[in-house]
């Protein structure tokens, strides 16, 4: 049976029980501390009674925890990821409910993440087996069949937990700008002067023929940084700032990357790359100047890109980092995807959920962007939970490696909840209050209950699959009510 959904309000019984057991208290002891009866506490722990606000505050004071820890965004992401994993046909006979999933995540988040790790490993093994079978069939070499993407997933989770905002790196970027006397008009020469005078590093422009396939190479022994001649000035500046970050903020990055949830050396190394990229973005687009410009120009990405001499993707990524208390920007989500539908970057401050283990909804405008390269596509969408989002999408093309090199094209999607949309120039002329302008969008086919979608690729776990060979709707998985015959 598919994972059944429930409309019950979320309860915190499992969390109360977990806290009580952590402190080695029985129900009688905790009830006495809270000033309630053991039977009432038992009802709360078994989700037969809600947790009143006054008891929530008492629990927070008693266990010295933040009340927000009872219902965090991370909890919601964990539940969403578990729900998607349990939507796999592997679990169809288990008769799991959404309440079961929520209780599991609340009672033992560590165990829930372990289940997700096992599911990722299962998916990787299944993909490797398919790859191996294909190679055996085709007679190709059987190398590199491990297709696990755990490092990128773990780093993505780390960035999400930090809300894609790292105050220490922001402060370090501002300190660098002050020390090197950087300005937007003189950024690249200013960074060159800094690395030569302060770090004793010589910057060279490498010919493509001698360093084919390499855009940046740093030799710490010779103290030589080579940048490819094929990089435009803005990309050279970014790579230069990236390398400076690795050198002057290496200790900070190592500490952040030492997060226990990064379980492999590959994950930690990838995290350092992501943090160095973050630092470079903060150098090229200083927080104060950038957030003010974003507000003044109503988040016009092209204007911001030209002002700070950066590309479309760099502006979009920087917009997702504006979470400094008292100087926040619009809470955006961002996704980067290729023509095959592979998601290589995802972050959400808007509350939107992305598929982790299956394909994304094809109704997202990020896919339509490939039909009009270089043009911005606008979409007002409505998710199954009723929340409405305003999203823009556009293709980007990576720096060329010469005539015979590949020219990969990807698409960037950037969006926010509709109440923030009016702060963006792209919403001009859009009737944001008209529900008829909304495109119904889901997370992924298996979790979407919309059966009238002509682009559905898989049946929904929320709707029983009924196939009638004599009846066909907009999709094989879209049920059609038979026509009622008039009474004679």
Tokens of 66: 């933040």
Segments forming the whole domain that contains residue 211: 149-284
Residues 264 and 350 placed together within one structural domain of the fold:
no
Percent of the residues in the chain that have a pLDDT greater than 90, as a whole number: 45
134 lies in some domain: no
Q: What is the DSSP letter of 432?
A: T
Residue 473's pLDDT band, with cuts at 50, 70 and 90, is: low
Average pLDDT along the chain: 83
Give a yes or no: residue 481 inside a domain.
Answer: no
**pLDDT tier for residue 74 given thresholds of 50, 70 and 90:** low
Per-residue pLDDT band for 142 (boundaries 50, 70, 90) equals: very low
pLDDT of residue 147: 40
In terms of domains, do 164 and 273 share one? yes
One domain for residues 164 and 269: yes
* Helix/strand/coil for 442: coil
Write the pLDDT tens digit of every residue in 239-255: 999 999 999 999 999 99
Instruction: Give residue 278's pLDDT.
Output: 97
Q: Which residues are registered as beta bridge partners of 346? A: 335
Asked, for residue 214, whether it belongs to a domain, the answer is yes
Closest CA to 392 of 369, 423, 373: 369
What pLDDT is attached to residue 133?
47
Global pTM? 0.72
- When mean pLDDT is compared across 144-153, 326-335, 337-346, 452-461, the lowest value belongs to 144-153
Question: CA geometry: angle at 131 spanning 336 and 85, to 5°?
Answer: 55
pLDDT in tens, 11-26: 577 778 878 887 889 9
Cα pseudo-dihedral 149, 150, 152, 153, rounded to 10 = 110
In sequence order, what are the residues at sequence separation of 6 or more whose Cβ sits closer than 8 angstroms to the Cβ of residue 68? none
Q: Count up the domains in the chain and report the number.
A: 3
Pick 222 or 344 by higher pLDDT: 222
Residue 126 included in any domain: no
Highest mean pLDDT among 133-137, 145-149, 357-361: 357-361
Mean pLDDT over residues 65-75, rounded?
Answer: 61
User: Residue 129: its pLDDT value, please?
Assistant: 59
Does one domain contain both 155 and 279? yes
Which of 426 and 65 is assigned the larger pLDDT? Answer: 426
CB within 8 Å of 4: residues ≥ 6 apart: 95, 96, 97, 98
Please indicate, yes or no, whether residues 158 and 280 belong to a single structural domain of this protein: yes
Residue 143 confidence (pLDDT) = 42
What is the Cα–Cα distance from 367 to 359, expressed in whole angstroms?
12
> At 91, which CATH number?
1.10.260.40
> How high is the pLDDT of residue 255?
95
pLDDT at 416: 95
Q: Where is pLDDT greater, at 363 or 459? A: 363
Would you say residue 211 lies in a domain? yes
130 confidence band (pLDDT: 50, 70, 90): low
Per-residue confidence (pLDDT) for residue 404, from 0 to 100: 64
Do residues 462 and 2 make contact, with C-beta atoms less than 8 angstroms apart?
A: yes
Q: Are residues 172 and 76 in the same domain?
A: no
| pLDDT of 364 above 50 | yes
Look at residue 443 and tell me whether its pLDDT is greater than 70.
yes
Statement to judge: residues 154 and 111 lie in one domain: no
The verdict on 348 and 443 lying in the same domain is yes
pLDDT, greater one: 486 or 414: 414
CB 28 within 8 A of CB 41: no
Residues 256 and 347 in one domain: no
User: Does residue 7 register a pLDDT over 60?
Assistant: no
pLDDT at 3 over 80: no
- Please report whether residue 297 resides in a domain: no
Chain-centre distance of CA 377, in angstroms?
A: 20
Same domain, 97 and 167: no
Instruction: Give the H or E element holding residue 302.
Output: helix 301-308
Closest CA relative to residue 87, chosen from 55, 123, 124: 123
> Is position 62 within any domain?
yes
Look at residue 6 in the predicted model and tell me its pLDDT.
41
Question: Which H or E run contains 315?
Answer: helix 312-319
Quick one: average pLDDT of 111-123?
A: 80
Query: pLDDT-derived band of residue 269, with 50, 70 and 90 as boundaries?
Result: very high
The pLDDT value given to residue 249:
96
User: Could you tell me if 325 and 332 are in contact, meaning their C-beta atoms sit under 8 angstroms apart?
Assistant: no
Q: H-helix or E-strand containing 97?
A: none
What is the average per-residue pLDDT within 170-176? 97
- In this structure, the answer to whether residues 278 and 162 fall within a common structural domain is yes
Say which CATH number the domain at 418 has.
3.30.450
> 96-105, 295-304, 324-333, 361-370 — which is least confidently predicted?
96-105
Give Cβ neighbours of residue 14 (< 8 Å, ≥ 6 apart). 45, 47, 103, 106, 107
Q: Is 106 inside a domain boundary?
A: yes
* φ/ψ of residue 468, rounded to 5: -120, 115
Task: Tell me what percent of the residues of the chain surpass a pLDDT of 70.
Answer: 83
Selected residue with higher pLDDT from 317 and 438: 317
d(CA 199, CA 249): 13
Range with the lowest mean pLDDT among 71-80, 256-265, 359-368? 71-80
- Residue 243 sits in a domain of what CATH number? 1.10.10.2910
**Is residue 102 scored above 90 in pLDDT?**
no
pLDDT of the residue at 488: 53
Boundary (domain end) residue, out of 252, 284, 316 = 284
Instruction: For residue range 184-231, list pLDDT tens digits in order.
Output: 889 999 999 999 999 999 999 998 877 777 889 999 999 999 999 989
Whether residue 439 sits in one domain with residue 345? yes
Q: Which of 379, 155, 110 is nearest to 274 (CA)?
A: 155
Q: How far apart are CA 256 and CA 392, in angstroms?
A: 32
- Rounded to an integer, the average pLDDT of 109-128 is 76
Separation of alpha carbons 236 and 234, rounded Å? 5
């Amino acid at each position: 049976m598919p994972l059944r959904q429930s409309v019950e309000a979320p309860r915190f019984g499992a969390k109360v029980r977990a806290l009580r057991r952590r402190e080695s208290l029985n129900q009688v002891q905790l009830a006495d501390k809270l000033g309630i009866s053991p039977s009432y506490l038992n009802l709360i722990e078994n989700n037969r009674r809600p947790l009143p606000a006054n008891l929530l505050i008492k629990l927070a004071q008693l266990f010295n925890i933040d009340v927000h820890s009872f219902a965090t965004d991370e909890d919601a992401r964990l539940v969403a990821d578990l729900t998607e994993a349990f939507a796999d046909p592997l679990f169809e006979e288990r008769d799991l409910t959404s309440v079961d999933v929520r209780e599991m995540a609340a009672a033992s988040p560590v165990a829930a993440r372990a289940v997700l790790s096992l599911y990722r490993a299962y998916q990787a093994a299944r993909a490797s087996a398919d790859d191996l079978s294909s190679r055996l069939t085709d007679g190709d070499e059987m190398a590199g069949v491990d297709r696990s993407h755990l490092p990128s997933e773990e780093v993505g989770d780390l960035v999400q937990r930090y809300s894609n905002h790292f105050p220490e790196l922001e402060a370090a970027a501002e300190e660098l700008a002050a020390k090197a006397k950087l300005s937007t008009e003189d950024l690249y020469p200013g960074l060159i002067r800094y690395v030569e005078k302060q770090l004793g590093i010589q910057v060279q422009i490498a010919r493509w023929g001698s360093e084919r396939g390499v855009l940046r190479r740093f030799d710490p022994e010779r103290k030589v940084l080579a940048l490819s001649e094929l990089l435009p000035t803005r990309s050279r500046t970014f790579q230069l700032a990236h390398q400076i970050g690795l050198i002057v903020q290496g200790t900070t990055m190592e500490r952040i990357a030492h997060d226990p949830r990064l379980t492999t050396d590959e994950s930690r190394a990838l995290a350092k790359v992501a943090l160095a990229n973050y630092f470079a973005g903060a150098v090229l687009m200083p927080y104060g100047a950038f957030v003010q410009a974003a507000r003044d120009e109503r988040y016009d990405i092209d204007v911001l890109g030209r002002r700070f001499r950066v590309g479309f993707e760099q502006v979009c990524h920087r917009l997702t980092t504006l979470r400094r208390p008292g100087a926040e920007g619009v809470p955006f989500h961002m996704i980067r995807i290729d023509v095959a539908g592979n998601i290589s970057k995802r972050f959400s401050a808007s509350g939107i959920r992305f598929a982790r283990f299956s394909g994304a909804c094809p109704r997202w405008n990020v896919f339509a962007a490939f039909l009009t390269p270089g043009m911005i596509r606008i979409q007002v969408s409505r998710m199954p939970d009723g929340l409405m989002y305003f999203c823009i999408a556009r293709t980007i093309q990576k720096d060329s490696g010469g005539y015979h090199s590949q020219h990969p094209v990807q698409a960037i999607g950037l969006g926010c909840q509709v109440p923030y949309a009016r702060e963006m120039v792209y919403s001009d002329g859009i009737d944001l209050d008209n529900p008829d302008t909304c495109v119904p969008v889901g997370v992924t086919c298996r979790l979407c209950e919309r059966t009238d979608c002509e682009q559905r690729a898989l049946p929904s776990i929320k709707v029983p699959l009924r196939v009638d060979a004599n009846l066909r709707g907009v999709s094989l998985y879209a049920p059609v009510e038979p026509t009622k015959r008039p009474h004679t």
